[in-house]
């Protein structure tokens, strides 16, 4: 693994080949696999158009991953708009953001 991130009862690992693996509690879909089922072993996460992840970050009820093409994907619950989706209520889903990188 080249990066490991720990959240609220969930974890993620980024491999040198750009693959992303998550496991743990999955309330609000924070593992990013499209479900809300808990996973007790690493599960590979894929998103449309992303051939490799380069960075990951886990929060209490949400997760975020940066793709090599510069897009940011977030998933899970977004209390206090943690996922930057423009919505303020709790929801389960995955959101894609693109734009200019402000810092590296």
* In-domain check, residue 87: yes
The verdict on residue 103 lying in a domain is: no
Question: Is 49 within the bounds of a domain?
Answer: yes
Positive/negative CA dihedral, 89, 26, 46, 14? positive
What is the maximum alpha-carbon separation in the chain?
Answer: 36
pLDDT of residue 80: 47
- 67 within some domain: yes
Residues of the chain with pLDDT under 50: 80-81, 83, 88-90
Written as six digits, the tokens of 40 are: 């007790």
Domain that holds residue 18: 3-97
Q: What is the pTM of this model?
A: 0.81
The answer to whether residue 102 sits within a structural domain is no
Question: Considering its fold, how many domains does the chain have in total?
Answer: 1
Tell me if 30 is assigned to some domain: yes
């Amino acid at each position: 693994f080249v990066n490991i991130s720990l959240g609220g009862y969930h974890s993620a690992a980024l491999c040198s080949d750009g693959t992303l693996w998550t496991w743990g509690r999955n309330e609000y879909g924070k593992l990013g696999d499209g479900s809300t089922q808990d996973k007790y072993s690493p599960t590979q996460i894929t998103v449309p158009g992303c051939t490799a992840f380069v960075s990951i970050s886990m929060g209490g009820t949400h997760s975020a991953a940066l793709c090599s093409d510069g897009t940011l994907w977030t998933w899970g619950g977004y209390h206090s708009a943690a996922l930057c989706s423009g919505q303020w209520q709790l929801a389960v889903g995955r959101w894609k953001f693109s734009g200019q990188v402000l810092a590296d």
